[in-house]
Amino acid sequence: MGQHAILSPSGASRWLACTPSARLEQAFPDKAGAAAAEGTLAHSLGEVLIKQKLKLLKKNDAKGYMNSIENECKDKGFDFAPMLEHAENYAVFVLEQYAEAQAHTKDALIFLEQKLNLTDWVPEGFGTGDVVIIADNTLTIIDLKYGKGVKVTAWQNKQMMLYSLGALREFSFLYDIDKIRMTIYQPRLDSISSFEILVSDLQQWAADELIPKAKLAFDGEGEFVPGLHCQFCKAGAVCKVRAEYNLELAKHEFANPALLNDNEVSDILKRAKMFTDWLGTVEDYALAEAVNNGKHWPEFKLVEGRSIRKYLDEITVAAKVVESGYSDEQIYKKSLLGIGDMEKLIGKKVFADVLGPFIIKPPGKPTLVHESDKRPAINSSEAAKVEFAGVEIDE
């Protein structure tokens, strides 16, 4: 297992908000699961494809690496075909950004999986930038996010800001760099977001916020601050401050919502996601402890959950039913592939070219979000017409 920084760039949004969490996390094991393993393979595949397009890898060598990645995907149950398509598109995007830099600066440079030293700002800090492009005036950082559980944006992204500082430290002697462009490429959520910042503003942020908070975090000092960042904390399930914050909602648990004032309802809405995330984290932790470590929780016991019947051998079952006088047409369903599976089968480009005119995307179900959400607000009366279309209401 590779070395892991105490104050990792990937966790910066958490330890900058809640400085004691970094040291608290050290008491808990890493929980890198299948999603992390899949992401690592996607990164490796993207790197191979970029290097091949840049002629930094011979065709046979690239093919060998790709075969190895494909075999590992099969071993771990990951779908290689869409990963390859996403990695291809990512490689094309990176090369487009590099070509843009070269158009501005003939001798622009590109670095892949670049090790970055962050010790000027973060004690023992280091990280790895997926793609760093250096040109006159502008430094570009590109980060591939293969996950699809949480959409990550580049706007004031703390991980990317740390990478930017490290890249400046490493390469600013090559060109006069005034601004930094940070881009997060998240293909499985069809998201490419960018954020630009002046070098002077980045350095000011580092001096005013990063350095003092990183010192507090490294020393295990400061105050615990609950928030959405808690969902990524290894100590989140048993953190008392997080529990106390979320349990404040219990006072509203049995209240009639009509009796709450508008501000109270808004306060509950703001905390709702943090509350449900916290409950899920505690439940997952308690179950894992009971299953893996034999932990007994007061007033609770471990039992078998509900299960559904399944065929032991589908081929044998089909043969037996046919022997009983039923036809294949009767025992097998034939249906058109869903949109996602069809797109996987024929590829995104062919799908868009051939089936694009025949795909519709109806309006989504109305949902309440915080006003900071980037989606435009909808007219509530129009939304009601869509939501309750066809429903008769007694006057």
In a structure prediction context, what are the per-residue pLDDT tens digits for the chain, which is 395 residues long?
345 678 999 999 999 999 999 999 998 887 768 888 999 999 999 999 999 999 999 989 999 999 999 999 999 999 999 999 999 999 999 999 999 999 999 999 999 999 999 999 999 999 999 999 999 999 999 999 999 988 999 999 999 999 999 999 999 888 899 999 999 999 999 999 999 999 999 999 999 999 999 999 999 999 999 988 998 899 999 999 999 988 887 776 556 767 888 888 888 888 888 888 888 889 988 998 899 889 999 999 998 888 899 999 999 999 999 999 999 999 998 899 999 889 888 988 899 999 999 999 888 888 888 888 878 898 866 555 555 555 454 44
What per-residue confidence (pLDDT) applies to 127? 94
Domains and CATH numbers, the chain: 9-219 (3.90.320), 236-293 (no CATH)
Residue 2's pLDDT is 47
Rounded distance, CA 259 to CA 12, Å? 40
Give the residues across from 182 on adjacent strands: 141, 195
In 3D space, the residue among 186, 203, 182, 204 whose CA is nearest the CA of residue 194 turns out to be 182
Instruction: Report the Cα–Cα distance between both ends of the chain, in Å, rounded.
Output: 67
The per-residue pLDDT for 100 is 95
Please check whether residue 89 is in contact with residue 187, taking contact to mean a CB–CB distance below 8 angstroms. Answer: yes
pLDDT of 395: 43
Block residue for tokens 């081929």: 315
Return the pLDDT at 386: 54
Q: Helices 34-53 and 59-76: crossing angle, nearest 10°?
A: 170
Is-contact 212 7, C-beta < 8 A?
A: no
Q: In sequence order, what are the residues at sequence separation of 6 or more whose Cβ sits closer than 8 angstroms to the Cβ of residue 243?
A: 278, 282
Predicted confidence at residue 389, as pLDDT, reads 57
Residue type for position 19: T
The closest alpha carbon to 187, from 48, 65, 92, 73, belongs to: 92
For residue 183, give the amino acid letter: T
- With beta carbons less than 8 A apart as the criterion, state whether 344 and 81 touch: yes
Which helix (H) or strand (E) covers residue 332, if one does? Answer: none
Q: Report the predicted TM-score, pTM, of the whole model to 2 decimal places.
A: 0.78
Q: Which two tokens stand for residue 27?
A: 């008491």
C-alpha span between 118 and 229 (Å, rounded): 22
